[in-house]
A and B are shown apart, each in its own frame.
Chain A
Amino acid sequence: MNLKQLLSAMKEDQDFSQRLTAWAENSARPARHDTLSVDLHEELARTMKQRGIHRLYSHQVQAVQTALQGSNPVIATPTASGKSLGYIIPILHQTLCEPSTRSLLLFPTKALAQDQRSNIQSWIEELGADISTYTYDGDTPPNVRRTIRSAGHVVISNPDMLHTGILPHHTKWVRLFENLQYIVIDELHTYRGVFGSHVANVLRRLLRIAQFYGSDPVIIACSATIANPEQLAGRLTGREFELIDESGAPRGQKHILLYSPPVVNAQLGIRQNSLIAARGLVRRFLSNGIQTIIFARSRLQVEVLLSYLRHSVPRANIRGYRGGYLPGQRREIERGLRSGYIDGVVATNALELGIDIGSLQAAVLVGYPGTVASTWQQMGRVGRGKEVSAAVLVASSNPLDQHIINHPEYFFSQSPESALINPDNLLILVNHLKCAAFELPFSRGERFGGQQVEEILNYLAEYRILHQSDGKWYWMAEGFPAEDISLRSASRENVVIVDTTDNEPSVIGEVDEFSAPMLVHEGAIYLHETQQYQVEKLDLEENKAFVRKVDVNFYTDASMAVEVGVLDVMQQDECSTHDRYFGEVRLTAQPTKFKKVRFHTHENVGWGDIHLPPQEMHTSAYWISLDESVAGHFGKSELESGLLGLANLLAEVAPLYLSCDRNDLYVINQVRSPFTGRPTVFICDAYPGGVGFGQKLYDVEDQVLQSCEDLVRSCECSQGCPSCVGAVKEVSSLAKEAAVRLLHYLSAAQYAG
């Protein structure tokens, strides 16, 4: 059956279609073209014709014209609408007209950079022009680096390399900076949260250096669909942008299905596991020869699902794709998908970005990806061109998933989230000011991204990192500040995973230092392309985990104990029922135990202790504490359960308002907090120093509490379930009712101010 036939068969299948809460059909749309009002260099015009590009889509025309006029375009059209031509054309045109022109392209990952390099290279070869393009990243061999610095017309890199490899050595890049005409920021939407806040500061530094060398580059940004591309581009660069978001590209018909797995135990509110539900669905696609991409929510889910699928569709060539696979293996999988010899791929959001894997036909999303923007991005992975495609969202039992799947009208009408960054987070800002001073002395009155920074510079001078003299601040310390700052997460080092099964140990993958205690603690089962490995030793000093191949019928899942202590209150407010706070806290996190979970049945078949030192972190948080007058309405165990239920609800709802991931927050409840002396729930930022989540929650508290109440009230379970306050056996049967009552009190309250 082809996809069209399969879809009609699915429509007629009662068992299947009654599990659907929505079946939407996005209709096909023809292309909209436009003509450039400027003449392109004749060689470029000829090459475009050769490539079969006779006319450009309207959004491409808009982007090219904006850039050529010297304004900054931000292109926010759907996946596969041909955004990259929006910068390739102006760059090639300008470089052909004026060969000294230099351009710098930034991609969030090395893989994307390499992809785009080969694309641009193919243009150059057809042009037959003397234009050179290179990727410049950690993998670039030292002997090539010199050539790139002086002769590379189009340098393709990533923010991390710009941060540590290019800016601190800008005197080696004089040719690039003196002639920098275009900066391209592709996958703009990935620069949000902590990472985005860092990147904004790296870009402040970049523009400062460009100015030093007398250039004033045009910035071209490309973004997936988010609510605020123009604002994000502006916040990241401090420049004004022209928004281009009307796509002129044609679109094929796309079926969007929302699938809710059946409840298998009504009393406990337990639903069929979303992985198992997805397995059946994917089998249908794959056994009909329909190339399918499956998005799972975590690395572990990728591996578990992959092993299920290989078991149930043995003839199909199915691969995994996630962070931690080595680059060579990833490239091989991407090629396999393009050429079609791989039938299916189970991926994390690592494949959400614009990596070229050709056009797939069906996408299955196991679990709501967390944001509307991300959902559309993943669904956009299928149906390039005019062909019919299908995307299915399989909801898990967690509350947010259930909320989305039961309110399809909300999902379809909701505009994608905003991407938030806070470049002025003090910790991030201070660190980048050090780097900036290392790159170029600061002058009195000089602003950094529009910020007054004199106070910070004085502080750094006081601590003898900078030297102040004659109205300037000079870097006067040993060392290399950029090397101490990682843009991506709190930890810089990766733990490499070493397979010691054979005589010759080999590296099979890596995990970041922060996740290591959870994923590769001693005794953990580490899954890599469905092969199971047991961790024999985790050496956190050497950053190595030693594993050995095993064959067991379970996987492991670790749990973490997190404690919180208040360090300082920045803002507080009280009302008749509760107090709200925003302040700074110390978190102590320690992995404690791991469960052994049997494949397929997901039953718990044992557990083990984890012996690892606690990790400590200082961050910001929002917390609320209940007034005695409210707490007094509840019995002791009632209060305990209600608070736990409330914490679980907040943990699910808060990310909606912060456009962050569930894992970017720690939610902790204390029946009697040592700080407030009252029942308290903390929501903490998972990044050292915090990126402003606490402040934001403090400001939108009423909306968050309202959403929690809506969610728990609209849940159909009787005493609580994993889709609202949590599973009954974990939160007790009192939780749901107690949480509803708690929320009722809380949302009725009014703050004086």
Chain B
Amino acid sequence: MSTSDRLKKLQRYGLLPASPASSRQQDRLTATGWPAELGFSLCPESGVALRSKLYCHSHMQGRVCLGELAELHPADLCLLTRVQRQPASWEEVLFLDTETTGLSGGTGTYVFLVGMLHWTEDGLLLRQYLMPDPSIEAAFIGKVLGGLQPFEHVATFNGKSFDMPLLSHRCTMNRTDRKPDFDGHHDLLHPARYLYRDSLPSCSLSSLEQYLLGVERRDDIPGAEIPERYFLFLKDRHPSLMADVVQHNATDLLSSAALAVHLLKVADSPADERSARISLALGRLSQKAGCTQTARRYLSEAVASADEKLYPEAAEELSLLHKRAQRWQDAVSLWREMIQRIHESERGVFCSVFAHVELAKYHEHRTGDLEKALHLTSGAIRHIQRRRRILGASGSGEDRRRLEELRHRQQRLQRRLGVSSASD
């Protein structure tokens, strides 16, 4: 029995998956009409398809005018994305997005469409590279690397863990010496999450488009259907199969640029136009980016405008920033303020306990006022005990742990002060 007969048999028994039979259409590998219909042109030597489109500076992506980038500092991007090297101008930054044959990764996942968008004097230039067949992948990757090369910075949405590693693996698969290499990779997903995870149902690009940018996608192809479209396109080269994908990719890029505008404007706007929560998130981001001064400004704003619920978080963060910078006066006055603003909420009590403890440490180690330190420590213990009384005996393990620490501190202070009375 021939191999193919045996294969058919295994399939008939359900041991091999029965895939939908191929459409058996004329093999249109040699079809020539599709690039023009999609707005692409084929590079005669390599066979890679390329499409360019210029979007003028006044182009509106939803409610956002992309030309506004000109009024924003590209260097501020680093504040949001924690990248060390700062771009000097928008001309240095390339927005990038890829379309792939799957999301599971691994060496069998191909990148087949790479879109790039960057600022020029005449407008924003979109370039899209399409791989019409995997047999020319090496050439395709070469073209893509060529397109990336002039840029020092790349900006993506979720590209740090997906698009860039995948491109890099495709380079390895084709044994190219070059790899995508940038001074800075700015992933916009990270700051978007930081700023909006508490206020938006999701931080996917489509959710951000809907809630922040006012972008409405009509007839957009769902991302999950994209690989199958490409597989079909490889079979019969029908341009309409790819048109939606090409459009999807372009929209993703334009929205990424619009998102950058939005985020930078939020960061740049006067304090009263931002919620305390956003200021707090910006403060934390800039702290992580190592911009202490900026962080202090955002956090101060957050503390000033915070409601009761947010105040403890913001105040703790700011006071620790002061403490690390050894700005003791600022720190101490903030801790005092925190104690005065005690609230009965769980977070409020912790916040108050936190301030008590920090002040106690300050007095024990800085001013040497042990009496004050002891007094503050005992105050913290009372706080926790009161809370436990209210909640009943089932206080959390966290409470018990804190209490233990405090008692330990209390005893040490008592020893140092020569007080022998046992703690209550």
Residue positions of A touching B, CB distance < 8 A: 168-172, 174, 426-427, 430, 437-441, 455-456, 459, 462-465, 467, 469-470, 472, 474-481, 567-568, 570, 584, 586, 618, 688-689
Contacts and interface: CB of A to CB of B under 8 A. Distances in A.
Interface string B8-21: 01100111111111
Nearest to B24: A462
Given A474-B135, A689-B10, 16 more contacts: A169-B105, A169-B106, A172-B169, A438-B107, A455-B3, A455-B4, A456-B3, A463-B22, A464-B22, A469-B134, A474-B110, A476-B134, A476-B231, A584-B13, A618-B15, A689-B15
Given A463-B21, A463-B22, A476-B234, A426 B105 contact: no
A618 B6 contact: no
Nearest to A170: B107
B180 to A, nearest CB: 14
A47 to B, nearest CB: 36
Interface in B151-184: 168-169, 172-173
Interface string B167-208: 011001100000000000000000000000000000000000
Contact of A437 (B6, B108, B172): B108
B10 A426 contact: yes
State which size class the interface on B falls in: 35 or more
B107 A476 contact: no
Interface pairs A-B: 8 shortest CB-CB:
A438-B108, A470-B135, A475-B108, A463-B19, A618-B13, A171-B169, A171-B172, A168-B106
A469 B135 contact: yes
Contacts of A430: 7, 10, 16
B30 to A, nearest CB: 12
Nearest to B235: A464
B268 interface: no
Nearest to A451: B3
Contacts of B2: 455
Contacts of A174: 172
23 contacts: A171-B173, A172-B169, A426-B7, A439-B108, A441-B134, A455-B3, A455-B7, A459-B3, A463-B17, A464-B19, A464-B231, A465-B19, A469-B134, A469-B135, A470-B135, A474-B134, A474-B135, A476-B231, A477-B231, A478-B228, A481-B108, A618-B15, A689-B10
B13 A476 contact: no
Residue from the set A441, A477, A478, A480 with the largest chain B CB neighbour count within 10 Å: A478
B107 A469 contact: no
B269 interface: no
B26 to A, nearest CB: 15
Contacts of A168: 106-108
B226 to A, nearest CB: 10
B35 interface: no
Contacts of B13: 567, 584, 586, 618
Nearest to A481: B108
B249 to A, nearest CB: 18
Interface in B326-382: none
Contacts of A467: 134, 231, 234
B98 interface: no
A142 to B, nearest CB: 12
Contacts of B287: none
Contacts of B10: 426-427, 430, 689
A567 B10 CA distance: 11
B142 interface: no
Interface of B: 1-4, 6-7, 9-10, 13-22, 29, 101-102, 104-108, 110, 133-135, 168-169, 172-173, 227-228, 231, 234-235
Contacts of B101: 476-478
B19 A439 contact: no
Contacts of B134: 441, 467, 469, 472, 474, 476
A469 B132 CA distance: 11
Residue from the set B13, B18, B19, B110 with the largest chain A CB neighbour count within 10 Å: B13
Nearest to B102: A478
A469 B29 contact: yes
Contacts of A477: 101, 108, 231
A441 B108 CA distance: 9
A470 B139 CA distance: 14
A440 B107 contact: yes
Given A469-B134, A570-B1, A584-B13, A478 B104 contact: yes
A455 B10 CA distance: 15
B108 A469 contact: no
A467 B236 CA distance: 12
Contacts of B169: 171-172
A456 B3 CA distance: 7
Nearest to A474: B134
B6 A426 contact: yes
A170 B173 CA distance: 9
B338 to A, nearest CB: 36
A322 to B, nearest CB: 31
Nearest to A476: B231
Given A464-B235, A584-B9, A439 B21 contact: no
B110 to A, nearest CB: 8
Contacts of B173: 171, 440
Contacts of A689: 10, 15
Contacts of B172: 171, 174
A487 to B, nearest CB: 17
A481 B19 CA distance: 14
Nearest to B4: A455
A459 B29 contact: no
Contacts of B17: 463
A438 B18 CA distance: 19
Contacts of A465: 19
A163 to B, nearest CB: 12
B325 to A, nearest CB: 31
Nearest to B231: A476
Contacts of A463: 17-19, 21-22
Given A426-B6, A586-B13, A470 B133 contact: yes
A472 B106 contact: no
A441 B172 CA distance: 14
A430 B29 CA distance: 27
A438 B109 CA distance: 8
Contacts of B107: 168-171, 438-440
A478 B227 contact: yes
Contacts of B228: 478
B84 to A, nearest CB: 21
A478 B227 CA distance: 7
A586 B110 CA distance: 39
B34 to A, nearest CB: 15
A455 B1 CA distance: 13
Nearest to A458: B4
Residue from the set A174, A456, A474, A688 with the largest chain B CB neighbour count within 10 Å: A474
Contacts of A441: 134
Nearest to B230: A476
B133 A479 contact: no
Contacts of B19: 463-465
A394 B1 CA distance: 47
Nearest to B6: A426
Contacts of B18: 463
B45 to A, nearest CB: 15
A459 B7 contact: yes
Contacts of A688: 15
A474 B131 CA distance: 14
Contacts of B4: 455, 459
Nearest to A459: B7
A186 to B, nearest CB: 27
A427 B16 contact: yes
A430 B15 CA distance: 11
